Amino acid sequence: MAANGPATPRTPLPLHWLGIVPFALFALLFLIGPALYIVTGAFRTPDGGFTLANIRGLFTPSILASYWISIRISVASALLGCVIGFSIAAAVTLGNLPKGLRGPLMTFSGVASNFAGVPLAFAFLATLGRLGLVTVTLKSWFGINIYAMGFNLLSFSGLTLVYLFFQIPLMVLIITPALDGLKKEWKEAATILGASGFQYWRMVAFPILFPAILGTFALLFANAFGAVATAYALTGSSLSIVPIVLFAQIRGDVLQDPHLGYALAFGMIVVTGIANGLYVWLRARSERWTR
């Protein structure tokens, strides 16, 4: 009777991968799949043939104008969000404010950074609309009519103001860990060498934080550039930014050119992809100093 050979070891099932399966399915069904469908649709005709006409359609004056408005609003809200958010985070992290303020501020920032869409638009209309609480109070009590002075919530400046509600808290959430990463030894060394507070920030702290700030600016830009629900609920079609033009094309009840809508979405994917890639790269550079 022949002797049995060595038993083949069983390969254990990779159970440690099961935890990521729901995320992978979610990403495949709601992120990767739709993105691939949009990209392929941007290069197809209604009958399924290949074409570049949809991409050429992006360079018409009306669509270029919508991209330009979206870029301006995104840059303005991202820039103001970075400046104001950085000031708030620095005051709480490095300033002499009570430490008890940090917890409520971070909690509020986490909630406000995700507060968008129809609820946010309604909140601003109820506050700063033509019949909003603040508008009516200023007019009745102080005789100040902000709309007669040129303010309009349904405009470029109004939409930028609304975007700041979630841009500023997002900046606070992202930049606070970078501020925490500034080592006390760096400031002590600068002080010993005779540097003033302004010189420390200009020559030490700010160069270290600059990649994180610039990366967060890119992220805020992408965040505003892709926002559609808030803008549509607030302005309707009165402000032709790219997400609203895209929504009109995809819906197809008036313009009836969904493939041009796919091309618009493809252009937005390219813009936001570049911005997010820049954020990841700059974030990685900034973390080298704060480890």
Encoded tokens for 216: 């967060």
CA atoms of 222 and 224, how far apart (whole Å): 5
Task: Indicate the pLDDT class of residue 259, thresholds 50, 70 and 90.
Answer: confident
Rounded mean pLDDT of 41-66? 87
Q: Does domain 49-111+167-290 sit in CATH 3.40.50.11740?
A: no
Rounded mean pLDDT of 125-149? 90
Backbone phi, then psi, for 4, in 5-degree steps?
A: -70, 140
Q: Which has more pLDDT, 164 or 231? A: 164
Q: What is the maximal distance between C-alpha atoms in the chain?
A: 108
Q: Is the pLDDT of residue 83 over 90?
A: yes
Q: Is the pLDDT of residue 2 over 60?
A: no
Task: Indicate the pLDDT class of residue 241, thresholds 50, 70 and 90.
Answer: confident
Rounded mean pLDDT of 219-239? 83
Q: List all residues 6 or more positions away from 53 whose beta carbon is below 8 Å from its beta carbon.
A: 45
Q: Where are the domains of the chain?
A: 49-111+167-290
Distance of CA 155 to the CA centre of its chain: 20
pTM for this structure?
Answer: 0.83
Q: Tell me the chain's radius of gyration from C-alpha atoms.
A: 25
Q: Is the pLDDT of residue 75 over 90?
A: yes
- Bridge partners, residue 50, by sequence: 44
Rounded mean pLDDT of 264-290? 82
CB distance 176 to 244 below 8 Å: no
Q: Is the pLDDT of residue 76 over 90?
A: yes
Q: Is the pLDDT of residue 39 over 90?
A: no
Q: What's the chain look like in SS3?
A: CCCCCCCCCCCCCCHHHHHHHHHHHHHHHHHHHHHHHHHHHCCECCCCCECCHHHHHHHCHHHHHHHHHHHHHHHHHHHHHHHHHHHHHHHHHCCCCCHHHHHHHHHHHHHHCCCCCHHHHHHHHHHHCCCCHHHHHHHHHCCCCCCCCCCCCCCHHHHHHHHHHHHHHHHHHHHHHHHHCCCHHHHHHHHHCCCCHHHHHHHHHHHHHHHHHHHHHHHHHHHHHCCCHHHHHHHCCCCCCHHHHHHHHHHCCCCCCHHHHHHHHHHHHHHHHHHHHHHHHHHHHHHHHHC
Task: Indicate the pLDDT class of residue 260, thresholds 50, 70 and 90.
Answer: confident
- What are the pLDDT digits (tens) for 183-205? 888 888 888 888 888 888 888 88
CA atoms of 59 and 19, how far apart (whole Å): 45
Q: Is the pLDDT of residue 90 over 70?
A: yes
Question: What is the predicted pLDDT for the residue at 20?
Answer: 84
